Amino acid sequence: MVRNIQLRTTLLEESVEDILKKKAAKYLGTSVQEISTIKVLRKSIDARKSTIYFNYKVSVYINQTAPKNNEYSFEYKDVSKAKKIHIIGFGPAGMYAALRCIELGYRPIVLERGKNVKDRRRDLKAINRDHIVNEDSNYCFGEGGAGTYSDGKLYTRSLKRGDVRRIFENLVFHGATEQILIDAHPHIGTNKLPKLVQNIRETIIKHGGEIHFQTKVVDFKILNNTIKGIVLEDGSEMPTDRVILATGHSARDIYYLLNNKKIAIQAKSFAMGVRVEHPQHIIDSIQYHCSGERNELLPAASYSLVEQVKDRGVYSFCMCPGGFIVPAATAPGEVVVNGMSPSKRNNLFANSGIVVEINVDMDIHKYEHYGALKGLEYQKDLERLAFTSGGRNQTAPAQRLTDFVEGKLSNDLNPTSYQPGLKSAPLHSLLPKMIGSRLRSGFTAFGEKMKGYYTSEANIVGVESRTSSPVNIPRKENLEHPEIQGLFPCGEGGGYAGGIVSAAMDGERCAEAAAAGL
């Protein structure tokens, strides 16, 4: 007999399996000896009150062995002689579009402007140490896209867009820990993602797909409203039947290309703000109702905050417990900050984006003359502002949280995880009023919700601007562009995803759409 049940326990002083077996036996009215196996399906932590609980959903096998088979299997066939589908970009959407093409019997030809994961590291080091930004190889561009050197957060609300479990199982198939199948808020960690991405690349190549690094697409050949080819930076051309455009939210050259060729794109609302960084022990003490170090069984605490201020949402984004802030610029002359965490989340700091919703139709009237690119140009201007106020390198403008809210320059700043360094700047007056004033109100409200959050021990760092694409590339019900046959906008770059899992699911859907009718 097998039963699925919910169990709840406080901090575990003996092995997880032993305590769950005892609780399951009591719940089911059986003996511990009769329980053959107990399999954890889901795990979460409830820290809302002073007593912290671990919640488990488990399958209990009584007098029978748990089956070893998995309902998900991934069978990749040799597609070296199959029809080609071209994929531009090798982030999560491009990777999973390529894998799905192989499953469907088509040969993916992937074109990635950046370098492989190993060679990318040198360029990341150059940003952090030497303040040199390589426009094609950075924290956003290269093998695995922005997801490779990120926290690897896998939590998604996009449950209706595809089979989330399938993506998780495929990540495990390619080397991720099975823990991601269980945790309520799973993540992989920036230290483990590169190997996983490399494994996906090897699967694609092994079965006949092609991946071309440092290969930048600069033009499309369009004939009778049908995409017939792509032009590369070296002047060479590739004939195409189907093109999946999975270039990510920071490939601005693609938006300019589409706009210049009068291929329909649309301005899209997005969000911008800052990164806030606290010592991790402050967030732990707030969330776990403790003083001093947290219990070693508890992970570094995270938080999720949202507040409505003047009809716009102010909310936390990409919260990184035990993590660090990184420079995510994709061109010289701009400063962009993002956050990530290693798998153990054992850094001394916690950081999160705190951003304000920007309604692209109501909030940036001065940029109307840019048409579909108005949000992008607004985004660029704030990144340039961060560059100049930070010292005209990758040093980022920063302020103590309390000084920002109170409207005064910080005489000094707190220690930080941001390697290029911080420079004290009056962000309270530099940021546009519609963002700055809402952030100040938002931080005050967050301090009421989380006692101790509003503190002079926290820094705010600018700017957090790449939360999502400020441009949407439209598509029809069959996921094809409404004007250009054979072109399939995909993932975050098209405006159809918001993270690793949702981008991966959209990549699979676009592969299925591109294959239809080939």
DSSP 1-18: -EEEEEEEESS-SS-HHH
* DSSP per-residue codes, 60-129: EEESSPPP---S--------TTSPEEEEE--SHHHHHHHHHHHHHT-EEEEE-SS--HHHHHHHHHIIII
Check if the beta carbon of residue 396 is closer than 8 Å to that of residue 417.
no
Give the residues across from 221 on adjacent strands. Answer: 229
For residue 332 the two structure tokens come to 């010289």
CA distance 135 to 123: 10
Cβ partners under 8 Å of residue 322, min gap 6 = 280, 300, 341, 342, 344, 345, 346, 347, 348, 349, 350
SS3 category, 486? coil
Contact 487, 462 (CB under 8 A): no
Q: Which amino acid is at 390?
A: G
Q: For position 416, what pLDDT does the model report?
A: 98
d(CA 176, CA 150): 15
Q: State the Cα angle at 489 between 483 and 493, rounded to 5°.
A: 130
The pLDDT, as a whole number, for residue 382 is 98
- Please give the Cα distance from 69 to 441 (Å, whole number): 53
Angle of the 252-260 helix axis to the 374-390 helix axis, nearest 10: 140
pLDDT of residue 158: 63
CATH 3.50.50.60 is held by the domain 84-265+473-515? yes
Structure tokens belonging to residue 41: 């399906």
DSSP string, 274-340: EEEEEEHHHHHHHHTT-SSSPPTTSPPP----EEEETTEEEEEEEEEEEEEEEE--SSTT---EEEE
What pLDDT, on the 0 to 100 scale, is given for residue 484?
Answer: 98
Please provide residue 231's backbone torsions phi and psi, each rounded to the nearest 5 degrees.
Answer: -105, 135
Residue closest to 277 by CA, chosen among 461, 447, 420? 461
Task: Delimit the domains of the chain by residue range.
Answer: 2-62, 84-265+473-515, 267-464
Round to whole Å and give the CA distance between 382 and 432: 9
**Structure confidence at residue 44 (pLDDT):** 92
| Cβ neighbour number for residue 439 with a 10 Å cutoff | 25
Q: Where are the beta strands (DSSP E) in 401-450?
A: 422-424
Q: Which two tokens stand for residue 186?
A: 């799973």
Q: What is the DSSP letter of 480?
A: S
Report the pLDDT value the prediction gives residue 155, as an integer from 0 to 100: 74
Encoded amino acid at 413, one letter: L
pLDDT in tens, the chain (518 residues): 788 889 888 866 668 888 899 999 999 999 999 998 999 999 999 998 888 999 999 999 998 888 877 788 999 999 999 999 999 999 999 999 999 999 999 999 999 999 999 999 999 999 999 999 999 999 999 999 988 886 677 877 666 677 899 999 999 999 999 999 999 889 898 889 999 999 999 999 999 999 999 999 999 999 999 999 999 999 999 999 999 999 999 999 999 999 999 999 999 999 999 999 999 999 999 999 988 788 888 999 999 999 999 999 999 999 999 999 999 999 999 999 999 999 889 999 999 999 999 999 999 999 999 999 999 999 999 999 999 999 999 999 999 999 999 999 999 999 999 999 999 999 999 999 999 999 999 999 999 999 999 999 999 999 999 999 999 999 999 999 999 999 999 999 999 998 899 999 999 999 999 999 88
CATH placement of domain 2-62: 3.30.70.2700
- The tokens describing 311, both together, are 């009809």
Burial class from Cβ neighbours inside 10 Å (0-12, 13-18, 19+) for residue 49 reads exposed
C-alpha R_g of the chain: 24
pTM of the complete model: 0.95
How far apart CA 73 and CA 444 sit, in angstroms, is 49
Positive/negative CA dihedral, 257, 204, 101, 117: negative
